[in-house]
Amino acid sequence: MPREDVNDMGTVVGVSDDTLDAVPFASFYGAEHRHVVRIVYALCGSWTTAEDVTQEAFLKALRRWPQLQQMDRPDAWVRRVACNLATSRFRRRSIEARALLRWRARQEVPEPQPLPSDLERFWQRVRQLPDRQAQAVALFYADDLTVGEVAQVMGCAEGTVKAHLHAARERLRGMYNRQEEES
Amino acid sequence: MTPTPIDRLARRAGEAVRDRADHLDGHRPHVDGLRRRDRTRRALTAGAAVTVVVLVALVVLVQARPGSRPAIGDGTSPPPSEPRASEEPTEHGTPKPITDRVRIADGIFEGSDQPWVLHAWLTEPDVVCIQLRGTGCSTLATEDDPLGAVGTGMTRGLENQGCVYGGIDEQVATVEVDFLDGETVTLPSLDGQELPTDFYAYCWDGSRQPTSLRALDEQGRVLESADRP
Protein backbone atom coordinates (compact mmCIF):
# COMPACT_ATOMS: atom_id res chain seq x y z
CA MET A 1 0.00 0.00 0.00
CA PRO A 2 1.45 3.38 -0.88
CA ARG A 3 2.91 5.32 2.00
CA GLU A 4 3.50 9.03 1.77
CA ASP A 5 5.68 11.26 3.85
CA VAL A 6 4.56 12.18 7.27
CA ASN A 7 4.48 15.91 7.13
CA ASP A 8 3.81 16.79 10.74
CA MET A 9 6.19 14.47 12.48
CA GLY A 10 8.39 17.28 13.70
CA THR A 11 5.53 18.98 15.45
CA VAL A 12 4.08 15.84 16.78
CA VAL A 13 7.17 14.77 18.68
CA GLY A 14 6.77 17.74 20.94
CA VAL A 15 3.08 17.17 21.54
CA SER A 16 2.26 17.41 25.18
CA ASP A 17 -0.03 14.39 25.08
CA ASP A 18 1.85 12.15 27.37
CA THR A 19 1.12 8.75 26.02
CA LEU A 20 3.91 6.71 24.61
CA ASP A 21 1.70 6.02 21.64
CA ALA A 22 1.57 9.65 20.64
CA VAL A 23 4.28 9.51 18.01
CA PRO A 24 3.31 6.27 16.30
CA PHE A 25 -0.33 7.29 16.13
CA ALA A 26 0.52 10.70 14.77
CA SER A 27 2.71 9.04 12.20
CA PHE A 28 -0.04 6.63 11.27
CA TYR A 29 -2.54 9.46 11.05
CA GLY A 30 -0.24 11.56 8.92
CA ALA A 31 0.43 8.75 6.51
CA GLU A 32 -3.07 7.41 6.17
CA HIS A 33 -5.24 10.51 6.30
CA ARG A 34 -5.21 11.24 2.58
CA HIS A 35 -5.98 7.64 1.68
CA VAL A 36 -9.01 7.59 3.86
CA VAL A 37 -10.25 10.95 2.60
CA ARG A 38 -10.04 9.70 -0.99
CA ILE A 39 -12.08 6.63 -0.28
CA VAL A 40 -14.71 8.44 1.70
CA TYR A 41 -15.08 11.21 -0.85
CA ALA A 42 -15.59 8.63 -3.56
CA LEU A 43 -18.32 7.06 -1.47
CA CYS A 44 -20.13 10.16 -0.24
CA GLY A 45 -19.33 12.98 -2.69
CA SER A 46 -18.59 15.81 -0.28
CA TRP A 47 -15.18 16.91 0.87
CA THR A 48 -16.53 18.32 4.10
CA THR A 49 -18.25 15.08 4.96
CA ALA A 50 -15.24 13.11 3.77
CA GLU A 51 -13.05 15.06 6.16
CA ASP A 52 -15.40 14.49 9.05
CA VAL A 53 -15.94 10.81 8.37
CA THR A 54 -12.17 10.49 8.17
CA GLN A 55 -11.79 12.20 11.53
CA GLU A 56 -14.42 9.90 12.97
CA ALA A 57 -12.57 6.85 11.67
CA PHE A 58 -9.28 8.05 13.10
CA LEU A 59 -10.97 8.88 16.38
CA LYS A 60 -12.00 5.25 16.61
CA ALA A 61 -8.48 4.23 15.72
CA LEU A 62 -7.04 6.52 18.40
CA ARG A 63 -9.21 4.91 21.05
CA ARG A 64 -8.11 1.44 20.03
CA TRP A 65 -4.57 2.34 19.19
CA PRO A 66 -2.89 -0.03 21.68
CA GLN A 67 -4.71 -2.96 20.07
CA LEU A 68 -4.39 -1.65 16.54
CA GLN A 69 -0.65 -1.38 16.92
CA GLN A 70 -0.54 -5.10 17.37
CA MET A 71 -2.28 -5.65 14.07
CA ASP A 72 -0.42 -6.32 10.85
CA ARG A 73 -2.39 -3.76 8.94
CA PRO A 74 -3.95 -1.03 11.05
CA ASP A 75 -4.30 0.94 7.84
CA ALA A 76 -6.69 -1.68 6.47
CA TRP A 77 -8.68 -1.44 9.69
CA VAL A 78 -9.12 2.31 9.53
CA ARG A 79 -10.05 2.15 5.84
CA ARG A 80 -12.66 -0.46 6.59
CA VAL A 81 -14.12 1.65 9.40
CA ALA A 82 -14.22 4.64 7.08
CA CYS A 83 -15.91 2.60 4.34
CA ASN A 84 -18.54 1.43 6.77
CA LEU A 85 -19.12 4.93 8.09
CA ALA A 86 -19.35 6.32 4.59
CA THR A 87 -21.85 3.76 3.36
CA SER A 88 -23.97 3.64 6.48
CA ARG A 89 -26.53 6.27 5.67
CA PHE A 90 -27.81 6.63 9.18
CA ARG A 91 -24.41 7.20 10.72
CA ARG A 92 -23.31 9.35 7.85
CA ARG A 93 -26.23 11.72 8.22
CA SER A 94 -25.35 12.52 11.80
CA ILE A 95 -21.72 13.02 10.82
CA GLU A 96 -22.80 15.25 7.95
CA ALA A 97 -24.85 17.41 10.28
CA ARG A 98 -21.86 17.89 12.57
CA ALA A 99 -19.59 18.42 9.59
CA LEU A 100 -21.79 21.22 8.34
CA LEU A 101 -21.56 23.03 11.66
CA ARG A 102 -17.81 22.65 11.74
CA TRP A 103 -17.48 23.69 8.13
CA ARG A 104 -19.34 26.93 8.82
CA ALA A 105 -16.97 27.66 11.64
CA ARG A 106 -13.90 26.78 9.62
CA GLN A 107 -14.27 28.17 6.17
CA GLU A 108 -10.66 29.14 5.80
CA VAL A 109 -9.79 25.65 4.52
CA PRO A 110 -10.12 25.91 0.77
CA GLU A 111 -12.32 23.35 -0.90
CA PRO A 112 -10.48 21.41 -3.58
CA GLN A 113 -11.30 22.21 -7.16
CA PRO A 114 -14.44 20.46 -8.27
CA LEU A 115 -14.00 17.35 -10.36
CA PRO A 116 -14.65 17.64 -14.09
CA SER A 117 -18.32 16.97 -14.65
CA ASP A 118 -17.88 13.63 -16.43
CA LEU A 119 -15.75 12.32 -13.56
CA GLU A 120 -18.13 13.68 -10.94
CA ARG A 121 -20.97 11.92 -12.76
CA PHE A 122 -18.97 8.72 -12.69
CA TRP A 123 -18.69 8.85 -8.90
CA GLN A 124 -22.34 9.73 -8.58
CA ARG A 125 -23.14 6.51 -10.39
CA VAL A 126 -20.72 4.58 -8.23
CA ARG A 127 -22.69 5.78 -5.21
CA GLN A 128 -25.79 4.20 -6.69
CA LEU A 129 -24.15 0.78 -6.67
CA PRO A 130 -24.69 -1.71 -3.86
CA ASP A 131 -22.52 -0.82 -0.87
CA ARG A 132 -19.93 -3.55 -1.29
CA GLN A 133 -19.48 -2.87 -4.99
CA ALA A 134 -19.17 0.85 -4.36
CA GLN A 135 -16.58 0.20 -1.65
CA ALA A 136 -14.58 -2.05 -3.95
CA VAL A 137 -14.58 0.59 -6.69
CA ALA A 138 -13.60 3.37 -4.28
CA LEU A 139 -10.75 1.35 -2.81
CA PHE A 140 -9.50 0.09 -6.16
CA TYR A 141 -9.79 3.23 -8.23
CA ALA A 142 -9.83 6.16 -5.82
CA ASP A 143 -7.24 4.82 -3.41
CA ASP A 144 -5.39 2.89 -6.09
CA LEU A 145 -5.11 -0.30 -4.08
CA THR A 146 -4.41 -3.68 -5.59
CA VAL A 147 -7.08 -6.34 -5.58
CA GLY A 148 -5.26 -8.07 -2.73
CA GLU A 149 -5.19 -4.91 -0.66
CA VAL A 150 -8.84 -4.24 -1.34
CA ALA A 151 -9.59 -7.76 -0.16
CA GLN A 152 -7.72 -7.09 3.08
CA VAL A 153 -9.65 -3.92 3.72
CA MET A 154 -12.99 -5.48 2.89
CA GLY A 155 -12.20 -8.64 4.78
CA CYS A 156 -13.00 -10.97 1.93
CA ALA A 157 -11.24 -13.12 -0.66
CA GLU A 158 -9.55 -11.63 -3.70
CA GLY A 159 -11.97 -13.51 -5.91
CA THR A 160 -14.85 -11.78 -4.20
CA VAL A 161 -13.28 -8.41 -4.83
CA LYS A 162 -12.83 -9.26 -8.48
CA ALA A 163 -16.45 -10.29 -8.64
CA HIS A 164 -17.55 -7.05 -7.00
CA LEU A 165 -15.45 -5.00 -9.40
CA HIS A 166 -16.71 -6.92 -12.40
CA ALA A 167 -20.32 -6.55 -11.31
CA ALA A 168 -19.78 -2.86 -10.59
CA ARG A 169 -18.28 -2.23 -14.03
CA GLU A 170 -21.15 -4.07 -15.68
CA ARG A 171 -23.71 -2.04 -13.80
CA LEU A 172 -21.91 1.19 -14.57
CA ARG A 173 -21.76 0.28 -18.24
CA GLY A 174 -25.49 -0.41 -18.12
CA MET A 175 -26.11 3.01 -16.60
CA TYR A 176 -24.08 4.73 -19.29
CA ASN A 177 -25.80 2.74 -22.04
CA ARG A 178 -29.21 3.65 -20.70
CA GLN A 179 -28.22 7.29 -20.56
CA GLU A 180 -27.07 7.18 -24.20
CA GLU A 181 -30.31 5.53 -25.27
CA GLU A 182 -32.36 8.14 -23.47
CA SER A 183 -30.44 11.00 -24.99
CA MET B 1 -5.81 -7.04 -20.97
CA THR B 2 -7.10 -3.97 -22.76
CA PRO B 3 -8.86 -1.56 -20.43
CA THR B 4 -12.50 -1.04 -21.23
CA PRO B 5 -13.90 2.49 -21.60
CA ILE B 6 -15.47 2.18 -18.14
CA ASP B 7 -12.14 1.08 -16.72
CA ARG B 8 -10.38 4.04 -18.31
CA LEU B 9 -13.01 6.43 -17.03
CA ALA B 10 -12.74 4.92 -13.56
CA ARG B 11 -8.98 5.34 -13.54
CA ARG B 12 -9.27 8.98 -14.54
CA ALA B 13 -11.94 9.53 -11.91
CA GLY B 14 -9.76 7.88 -9.29
CA GLU B 15 -6.78 9.98 -10.23
CA ALA B 16 -8.83 13.17 -10.00
CA VAL B 17 -10.00 12.24 -6.51
CA ARG B 18 -6.45 11.47 -5.41
CA ASP B 19 -5.22 14.84 -6.69
CA ARG B 20 -7.84 16.70 -4.73
CA ALA B 21 -7.42 14.60 -1.62
CA ASP B 22 -3.70 15.37 -1.68
CA HIS B 23 -4.53 19.04 -1.88
CA LEU B 24 -6.84 18.69 1.11
CA ASP B 25 -4.20 16.75 2.99
CA GLY B 26 -2.11 19.90 3.26
CA HIS B 27 -4.88 21.34 5.43
CA ARG B 28 -5.75 18.29 7.41
CA PRO B 29 -6.57 18.87 11.06
CA HIS B 30 -3.64 18.36 13.36
CA VAL B 31 -3.56 15.17 15.34
CA ASP B 32 -3.90 17.26 18.48
CA GLY B 33 -7.32 18.33 17.26
CA LEU B 34 -8.26 14.69 17.06
CA ARG B 35 -7.15 14.16 20.63
CA ARG B 36 -9.06 17.20 21.79
CA ARG B 37 -12.11 15.88 20.04
CA ASP B 38 -11.61 12.54 21.72
CA ARG B 39 -11.35 14.16 25.14
CA THR B 40 -14.42 16.32 24.49
CA ARG B 41 -16.38 13.31 23.33
CA ARG B 42 -15.36 11.34 26.40
CA ALA B 43 -16.23 14.22 28.69
CA LEU B 44 -19.64 14.56 27.07
CA THR B 45 -20.25 10.84 27.34
CA ALA B 46 -19.21 10.86 30.99
CA GLY B 47 -21.36 13.93 31.63
CA ALA B 48 -24.34 12.26 30.00
CA ALA B 49 -23.78 9.14 32.09
CA VAL B 50 -23.58 11.17 35.29
CA THR B 51 -26.76 13.04 34.34
CA VAL B 52 -28.58 9.77 33.77
CA VAL B 53 -27.38 8.39 37.10
CA VAL B 54 -28.46 11.55 38.94
CA LEU B 55 -31.88 11.51 37.28
CA VAL B 56 -32.40 7.85 38.12
CA ALA B 57 -31.34 8.51 41.71
CA LEU B 58 -33.79 11.43 41.93
CA VAL B 59 -36.63 9.32 40.59
CA VAL B 60 -35.83 6.57 43.08
CA LEU B 61 -35.67 9.06 45.93
CA VAL B 62 -38.94 10.69 44.98
CA GLN B 63 -40.66 7.34 44.73
CA ALA B 64 -39.24 6.22 48.03
CA ARG B 65 -40.76 9.17 49.91
CA PRO B 66 -43.48 8.05 52.32
CA GLY B 67 -46.89 8.69 50.88
CA SER B 68 -45.66 9.23 47.38
CA ARG B 69 -47.03 5.92 46.16
CA PRO B 70 -49.23 3.20 47.49
CA ALA B 71 -47.40 0.81 49.67
CA ILE B 72 -47.72 -2.82 49.05
CA GLY B 73 -48.70 -5.01 51.89
CA ASP B 74 -47.02 -8.16 52.85
CA GLY B 75 -47.19 -9.55 49.39
CA THR B 76 -50.55 -11.26 49.68
CA SER B 77 -52.34 -8.27 48.26
CA PRO B 78 -51.64 -7.51 44.63
CA PRO B 79 -49.85 -4.22 44.10
CA PRO B 80 -52.20 -1.70 42.54
CA SER B 81 -51.24 0.33 39.56
CA GLU B 82 -50.46 3.96 40.17
CA PRO B 83 -53.41 6.27 39.79
CA ARG B 84 -53.28 8.28 36.65
CA ALA B 85 -52.22 11.87 36.95
CA SER B 86 -55.70 13.19 36.31
CA GLU B 87 -57.01 11.05 39.12
CA GLU B 88 -54.38 12.01 41.58
CA PRO B 89 -55.32 14.38 44.31
CA THR B 90 -53.53 17.65 44.24
CA GLU B 91 -51.05 17.62 46.99
CA HIS B 92 -50.64 21.36 47.03
CA GLY B 93 -54.15 22.37 46.13
CA THR B 94 -57.06 22.92 48.45
CA PRO B 95 -58.21 19.56 49.74
CA LYS B 96 -61.71 18.68 48.74
CA PRO B 97 -64.15 17.95 51.47
CA ILE B 98 -64.07 14.30 52.02
CA THR B 99 -67.84 14.11 51.79
CA ASP B 100 -67.56 15.19 48.16
CA ARG B 101 -65.68 12.09 47.42
CA VAL B 102 -66.81 9.36 49.71
CA ARG B 103 -69.30 8.97 52.43
CA ILE B 104 -67.94 8.95 55.88
CA ALA B 105 -70.54 7.70 58.24
CA ASP B 106 -70.57 7.12 61.88
CA GLY B 107 -68.92 3.99 62.75
CA ILE B 108 -67.36 2.10 65.47
CA PHE B 109 -63.92 0.79 65.25
CA GLU B 110 -63.10 -0.77 68.46
CA GLY B 111 -59.85 0.19 69.91
CA SER B 112 -59.56 3.28 67.76
CA ASP B 113 -59.66 6.83 68.93
CA GLN B 114 -60.90 8.10 65.62
CA PRO B 115 -63.46 5.80 64.15
CA TRP B 116 -64.38 6.38 60.52
CA VAL B 117 -66.38 4.19 58.26
CA LEU B 118 -66.30 4.33 54.55
CA HIS B 119 -69.25 2.82 52.76
CA ALA B 120 -68.12 1.92 49.34
CA TRP B 121 -69.92 -0.07 46.74
CA LEU B 122 -67.48 -1.65 44.39
CA THR B 123 -68.73 -2.92 41.08
CA GLU B 124 -66.27 -5.62 40.16
CA PRO B 125 -63.61 -5.35 42.65
CA ASP B 126 -61.34 -7.71 44.28
CA VAL B 127 -59.12 -5.12 45.76
CA VAL B 128 -59.70 -1.72 47.16
CA CYS B 129 -56.99 0.71 47.89
CA ILE B 130 -57.54 3.58 50.20
CA GLN B 131 -54.82 6.07 50.14
CA LEU B 132 -54.07 9.01 52.28
CA ARG B 133 -51.70 11.57 51.06
CA GLY B 134 -49.35 13.07 53.52
CA THR B 135 -50.72 11.35 56.56
CA GLY B 136 -49.82 8.42 58.57
CA CYS B 137 -52.21 5.58 58.57
CA SER B 138 -52.47 2.90 61.12
CA THR B 139 -52.14 -0.69 60.33
CA LEU B 140 -55.59 -1.35 59.09
CA ALA B 141 -56.25 -4.87 59.85
CA THR B 142 -55.06 -8.26 60.55
CA GLU B 143 -56.94 -11.41 59.83
CA ASP B 144 -58.87 -11.14 63.02
CA ASP B 145 -59.70 -7.45 63.12
CA PRO B 146 -63.06 -5.97 62.06
CA LEU B 147 -62.07 -5.41 58.51
CA GLY B 148 -61.76 -9.11 58.12
CA ALA B 149 -65.51 -9.27 58.26
CA VAL B 150 -66.11 -7.51 54.98
CA GLY B 151 -64.48 -9.86 52.65
CA THR B 152 -61.96 -12.46 52.03
CA GLY B 153 -58.30 -12.16 51.37
CA MET B 154 -58.04 -9.40 53.86
CA THR B 155 -56.04 -6.32 54.04
CA ARG B 156 -52.64 -5.35 54.98
CA GLY B 157 -51.74 -1.87 55.87
CA LEU B 158 -48.42 -0.37 56.59
CA GLU B 159 -47.86 2.21 59.17
CA ASN B 160 -47.10 5.67 57.93
CA GLN B 161 -47.27 4.62 54.34
CA GLY B 162 -50.58 6.30 53.81
CA CYS B 163 -52.31 3.46 52.11
CA VAL B 164 -53.98 0.19 52.73
CA TYR B 165 -55.40 -2.51 50.56
CA GLY B 166 -58.41 -4.61 51.13
CA GLY B 167 -59.66 -7.61 49.31
CA ILE B 168 -63.40 -7.69 48.91
CA ASP B 169 -65.60 -10.22 47.23
CA GLU B 170 -68.97 -8.73 47.91
CA GLN B 171 -70.68 -6.01 45.94
CA VAL B 172 -71.43 -3.94 48.93
CA ALA B 173 -68.65 -3.50 51.31
CA THR B 174 -68.14 -1.50 54.36
CA VAL B 175 -64.54 -0.67 54.78
CA GLU B 176 -63.67 0.59 58.12
CA VAL B 177 -60.63 2.72 58.03
CA ASP B 178 -58.83 3.71 61.11
CA PHE B 179 -57.20 7.03 60.57
CA LEU B 180 -54.74 7.67 63.29
CA ASP B 181 -52.42 10.56 63.62
CA GLY B 182 -49.39 10.58 61.52
CA GLU B 183 -46.22 12.00 62.83
CA THR B 184 -47.06 15.52 61.80
CA VAL B 185 -50.71 15.54 60.91
CA THR B 186 -53.60 15.67 63.25
CA LEU B 187 -56.73 14.34 61.68
CA PRO B 188 -60.00 16.03 62.42
CA SER B 189 -62.52 13.99 64.14
CA LEU B 190 -65.60 12.36 62.83
CA ASP B 191 -68.08 12.60 60.10
CA GLY B 192 -68.43 15.38 57.59
CA GLN B 193 -65.17 17.04 58.38
CA GLU B 194 -62.48 17.78 55.95
CA LEU B 195 -59.36 15.84 56.07
CA PRO B 196 -56.24 17.95 56.03
CA THR B 197 -55.06 16.09 53.04
CA ASP B 198 -56.64 14.55 50.01
CA PHE B 199 -58.34 11.29 50.27
CA TYR B 200 -59.27 8.97 47.52
CA ALA B 201 -59.99 5.37 46.91
CA TYR B 202 -59.48 3.13 43.97
CA CYS B 203 -60.43 -0.37 43.24
CA TRP B 204 -58.91 -2.77 40.87
CA ASP B 205 -60.22 -5.77 39.10
CA GLY B 206 -58.25 -8.95 38.79
CA SER B 207 -55.96 -7.48 36.18
CA ARG B 208 -55.26 -4.66 38.58
CA GLN B 209 -56.57 -2.06 36.21
CA PRO B 210 -58.72 0.51 37.95
CA THR B 211 -62.38 -0.23 37.24
CA SER B 212 -64.84 1.68 39.30
CA LEU B 213 -65.74 2.82 42.72
CA ARG B 214 -69.03 4.08 44.02
CA ALA B 215 -69.54 5.59 47.35
CA LEU B 216 -73.01 5.22 48.80
CA ASP B 217 -74.72 6.83 51.64
CA GLU B 218 -76.41 4.79 54.26
CA GLN B 219 -79.60 4.59 52.20
CA GLY B 220 -77.69 3.19 49.30
CA ARG B 221 -77.73 6.37 47.19
CA VAL B 222 -74.70 6.98 45.06
CA LEU B 223 -72.65 9.80 46.39
CA GLU B 224 -69.79 9.40 44.05
CA SER B 225 -69.13 7.27 41.08
CA ALA B 226 -65.82 6.83 39.43
CA ASP B 227 -65.89 4.52 36.48
CA ARG B 228 -62.76 3.96 34.60
CA PRO B 229 -62.31 2.34 31.24
Per-residue pLDDT reduced to its tens digit, B104-135 = 333 222 223 333 333 333 333 333 334 332 23
Q: Are A174 and A32 in contact (CB under 8 A)?
A: no
CB distance A109–B13 less than 8 Å?
A: no
pLDDT in tens, A121-132: 999 999 999 889
Which chain A residue has the Cα nearest residue B41? A59
Residue A34 vs residue B208, higher pLDDT: A34
**Residue B37 φ/ψ, nearest 5 degrees:** -60, -40
Which one of B23, B30, B31 makes the best mutation probe of the A interface by having the most chain A beta carbons within 10 Å?
B31
Mean pLDDT to the nearest integer, B199-227: 40
Residues in chain A closer than 8 A to B20 (CB atoms): 41, 47, 112-113, 115
% of chain B beyond a pLDDT of 90: 6
Q: What is the pTM of this model?
A: 0.50
pLDDT at B27 over 90: no
Q: Chain A contact for B32, CB < 8 A?
A: yes
Q: B31 and chain A: CB distance < 8 Å anywhere?
A: yes
What per-residue confidence (pLDDT) applies to A73? 87
pLDDT above 50 for B92: no
Q: What is the mean pLDDT of chain B?
A: 47
Q: Which residues contact B34 (CB under 8 A, 6 or more apart)?
A: A29, A55, A58, A59, A62
Q: Which of A52, A32, A48 is nearest to A153 (CA)?
A: A32
**Interstrand relation of B212-216 and B222-227 (parallel, antiparallel or unpaired):** antiparallel
Q: Across the interface, do A17 and B35 touch by the CB < 8 Å criterion? A: yes
For the cut 60, the answer to whether the pLDDT of residue B97 exceeds it is no
B36 interface with A at CB cutoff 8 Å: no
Q: Which of A38, A60, A175 to probe the B interface (max B CBs under 10 A)?
A: A38
Answer whether A13 touches B (CB < 8 Å): no
Q: A168 to chain B nearest CA, in Å?
A: 10
* φ/ψ (deg, to 5) at A75: -65, -40
CB contacts of A11 in chain B (<8 Å) are 30
Point out which residues pair with B131 in neighbouring strands: B163, B200
Q: Is A8 on the interface with B (CB under 8 A)?
A: yes
pLDDT at B33: 76
* pLDDT for A46: 86
| All residues at 6 or more sequence positions from A81 whose CB lies less than 8 Å from its CB, including other chains | A57, A60, A61
What pLDDT, on a 0 to 100 scale, did the predictor assign at position A96?
62
| Inter-CA distances, A69 with A62, A75, A167, Å | 10, 10, 35
Chain B residue with the nearest C-alpha to that of A108: B27
- Going from the first residue of chain A to its last (183 residues), give the mean pLDDT of each consecutive group of 10, the final group possibly shorter: 36 37 77 92 88 87 86 89 80 63 57 86 92 93 93 89 92 88 78
Picking from A35, A123, A141, the nearest residue to B11 by CB comes out as A141
Q: Are A158 and A140 in contact (CB under 8 A)?
A: no
**A171, A172, A173, A179 alpha-carbon torsion, rounded to 10°:** 110
A41 touching B (Cβ < 8 Å): yes
- Model pLDDT, residue B182: 27
Residue in chain A closest to B11 (alpha carbons) equals A141
Region B64-71: mean pLDDT is: 51
